[in-house]
Each structure stands twice: as C-alpha cells, then as structure tokens.
C-alpha cells in the first residue's frame, strides 16, 4: 500500500529534510507541498537537490489543501500548527515538527512559548527510556497525532534517560552544553546567521535557563524516573550547517561502581537501530552523523568530579527532526521502523 503525504512548511530546512526522507521511502508518496511566501513556485526552485520531486509546486498552507491525505507533516513555525491540525480529520496521521504539541504542562508552555496552548500528542522519540523499563516506542503504534521532539531535547534526553532510569546518575545538577549548527535556527534571513558573522566564531544563545527546549528535556527526564530534575542548558551556535554535539554531565549516584556505569546505556540501546553507544574511550563527531538518522554516544567517568560525561552527536535535521518524524510515522502505520531511513552518513 502507498500512503499519500502532504508536507506543510515545505520550503524551510526542516520541511526540505522531511521531503528528502519521504522521497526515499518505498511506501510513501508526497503529493502536496505547502508554503507561505513561495506559493506558486516549483519545489526545486527552492530545494534544487530534491530532483525526484521536481513535479511539485508550492500551494498555500490551509487545512483544505492538507485534507484528504493519509499523512500530514507540519513543519511550521511554533504557534502555527495547532489551529491547522485541529481542522484535520481524526483518522489522518499528523506529525508536528514544531513545538505546539510537545509539552504536557500549560504552565511551561506559557512561560517558554506563550500564545494558545494545545494539548500534548504522542511524543515521537521511540528510544526514550521510561521509568518502568519500557520505551516511548510502545506508545506510538497506531497513533494518529505525533509531536516530533526538539533536536536539542533529543540529544540531551538520549544522553541521560538510561542513567536516570537505572539510578546510576542523579537527576539534579545536570549540565548540558551543545554545539549547534546554524540550520537549527531555521531558514529565515538573520544578521547573526550570515556567513560573515558566523565563520570563525561561536555564539551562545538562550543562556540562563530560558531556552525553549528545557521544559521538554525535564519532561522526558521525569518519564525516565527523575523526581525533581534540574538542567542547566546552554546551546552554542557554531559555524557548521548541520549537526549537534552535546556535552552532558551528571553526578554519579552514591555507591555506584564507576566501572559498570556503561552497562545502563549499552543495555538500553543494544537493540536500537539508530542509537549507538561507542566503545570505551571513543567519542563521536558530528561529521559521522551528517545525513543519517543516527545518534552516537560516548561515555566517560570523571572520577575527580564524581560526574559522568556523556557526549552525543546527531544531525539536527535528520535524527533531530525529519528522521524522527519518519521513524515515528513508520511505527504509527505498522511499517518496519527503519524503512526509508539512512544509518550511513555522508563523508567527507
């Protein structure tokens, strides 16, 4: 069976990467692409690398244009998905790549985003470990509304959840510093994203507990078993087009045998096709994940500080967005989870 797909907000980086993933999926057919300022333009005028979709033309983003498809992917700015999604048929599989349906707390939404609050959907991070030892994957089968995680939240949650669930690390006093590629900021023209501003420089942003992915990370850690987690989260914009390198540290729980700490991550991710724990002494680089739906994890115990250091690398546009959407889509439709998703990156 071939499922028809519409992608809203298809002219942006996230929308373009969703299209690239969908174009290589054997059971999906992209029939409609919508945009705002690009209405009437050919898709390949905006995404010239997507040659197999050259027949498509951007139409206006309305519920009417999106209706009638088996699957709708919303790659819209935060605050724009909720109203459109509410108008779509309940039997349509809808995946929101924005934040509108990620948070279970309206208080958190009001504090970090503002505007109309929309109820949380099924959370599209299949590998997220829960306190009872199950994973988020179990909640996605048959779902018809899925919230795709934030890219930074994906990296930090995958880093921490196995240790929280097993009790080897504490849920308080966690630090996370992320080097983030500029595509994570979207395709909007901004002075700070110009090459002349970025090249040769690294710029922190969202400093001091204000970044919008913080409540999402905390929400995930609670699912993993943390009772009152605290996370100091600082992203840093670096001069690369795509990728996230997350350096996450957490206090080791009292009495934990440092030599056995790795077992929690290896056990949690041993059967995962897209989350790979590297051998001891090895740490990932973002270049190894470009174009792939993989998250690579390296671990080290800092004995002097009594902390665990977890390094995670992933492609923010694939495992951080489009790949997560397709992976969750596969689970929701009862298809093989890995269908249409690359594990091999692009090098050099």
User: Which one of the listed residues 75, 97, 140, 151 is annotated catalytic?
Assistant: 151
DSSP letters along 74-133, please? E---TTSHHHHHTTS-TTSEEEE-SSTTT-S-HHHHHHHT-S------EE--TTPBPTTS
pLDDT digits (tens, 9 = 90+) for 103-156: 999 999 999 999 999 999 999 999 999 999 999 999 999 999 999 999 999 999
| 3 state DSSP class of 37 | coil
Task: Give the pLDDT band of residue 189 (cuts 50, 70, 90).
Answer: confident
Nearest to 151 by CA among 208, 262, 43, 75: 75
Helix locations, the chain, DSSP H: 13-23, 43-46, 63-66, 81-85, 106-112, 151-166, 195-198, 214-224, 262-269, 323-333
Task: Give the pLDDT band of residue 187 (cuts 50, 70, 90).
Answer: confident
Q: Tell me, what's the pLDDT at 119? A: 95
Buried b (16+ CB within 10 A) or exposed e, 15-35: bbbbbbbbeebeebebebbbb
Indicate the DSSP class of residue 142: T
Rounded to whole angstroms, the Cα distance separating 290 from 59 reads 30
Question: What structural domains and CATH numbers belong to the chain?
Answer: 3-149+318-333 (3.40.50.720), 152-314 (3.30.360.10)
Q: Tell me, what's the pLDDT at 60? A: 97
Q: Tell me, what's the pLDDT at 192? A: 83
**CA 106 to centroid of chain Cα atoms:** 21
Q: Tell me, what's the pLDDT at 158? A: 98
Contacts for 251 with CB less than 8 Å, ≥ 6 apart: 169, 170, 172, 173, 306, 307, 308
How large a percentage of the chain has pLDDT more than 70?
100
Task: Give the pLDDT band of residue 258 (cuts 50, 70, 90).
Answer: confident
151 is catalytic: yes
203-229 mean pLDDT: 97
Residue 132 burial (CB count, 10 A): 9
Q: Tell me, what's the pLDDT at 330? A: 98
User: Helix 323-333 crosses helix 13-23 at what angle (to 10 degrees)?
Assistant: 50
How large a percentage of the chain has pLDDT more than 90?
93
Query: Which residues sit opposite 66 in a β-bridge?
Result: none
Q: Tell me, what's the pLDDT at 304? A: 95
pLDDT digits (tens, 9 = 90+) for 273-323: 999 999 999 999 999 999 999 999 999 999 999 999 999 999 999 999 999
Buried b (16+ CB within 10 A) or exposed e, 68-105: ebbbbbbbbebebbbebbeebeeebbbbbbbbbbbbbe
pLDDT digits (tens, 9 = 90+) for 22-56: 999 999 999 999 998 899 999 999 999 999 999 99
Rounded to whole angstroms, the Cα distance separating 9 from 306 reads 46
Contacts for 224 with CB less than 8 Å, ≥ 6 apart: 128, 129, 130, 131, 157, 160, 161, 162, 164, 165
């Amino acid at each position: 069976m071939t499922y028809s797909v519409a992608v809203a907000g298809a002219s942006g980086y996230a929308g373009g990467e969703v299209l690239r993933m969908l174009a290589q999926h054997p059971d999906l057919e992209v029939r409609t692409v919508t945009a705002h300022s690009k209405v009437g333009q050919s898709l390949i005028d905006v995404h010239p690398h997507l040659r197999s979709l050259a027949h498509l033309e951007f139409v206006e983003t309305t519920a009417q244009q999106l209706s009638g498809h088996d699957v709708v992917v919303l790659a819209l700015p935060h605050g724009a998905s909720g109203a459109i999604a509410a108008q779509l048929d309940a039997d349509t599989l809808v995946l929101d790549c924005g934040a509108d349906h990620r948070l279970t707390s309206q208080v958190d939404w009001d504090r970090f985003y503002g505007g109309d609050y929309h109820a949380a959907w099924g959370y599209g991070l299949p590998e997220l470990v829960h306190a009872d030892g199950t994973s988020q994957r179990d909640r996605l089968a048959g779902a018809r509304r899925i919230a795709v995680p934030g890219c930074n939240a994906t990296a930090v949650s995958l880093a921490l959840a196995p240790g929280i669930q097993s009790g080897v690390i504490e849920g308080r006093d966690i630090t996370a510093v992320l080097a983030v590629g500029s595509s994570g900021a979207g395709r909007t023209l901004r002075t700070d994203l110009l090459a002349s501003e970025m090249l040769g420089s690294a710029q922190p942003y969202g400093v001091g507990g204000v970044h919008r992915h913080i409540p999402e990370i905390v929400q995930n850690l609670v699912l993993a078993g943390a009772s009152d987690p605290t996370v100091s989260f600082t992203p840093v914009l670096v001069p690369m087009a795509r990728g996230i390198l997350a350096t996450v540290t957490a206090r080791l729980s009292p009495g934990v045998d440092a030599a056995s700490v790795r077992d929690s991550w290896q056990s949690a991710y041993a059967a995962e096709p897209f989350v790979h724990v590297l051998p001891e002494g090895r740490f990932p680089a973002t270049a190894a994940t470009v174009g792939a739906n993989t998250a690579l994890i390296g671990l080290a115990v800092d004995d002097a500080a009594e902390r665990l250091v977890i390094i995670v690398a992933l492609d923010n546009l694939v495992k951080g967005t489009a790949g997560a959407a397709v992976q969750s889509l596969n689970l929701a439709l009862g298809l093989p989870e890995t269908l249409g998703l690359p594990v091999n990156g692009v090098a050099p």
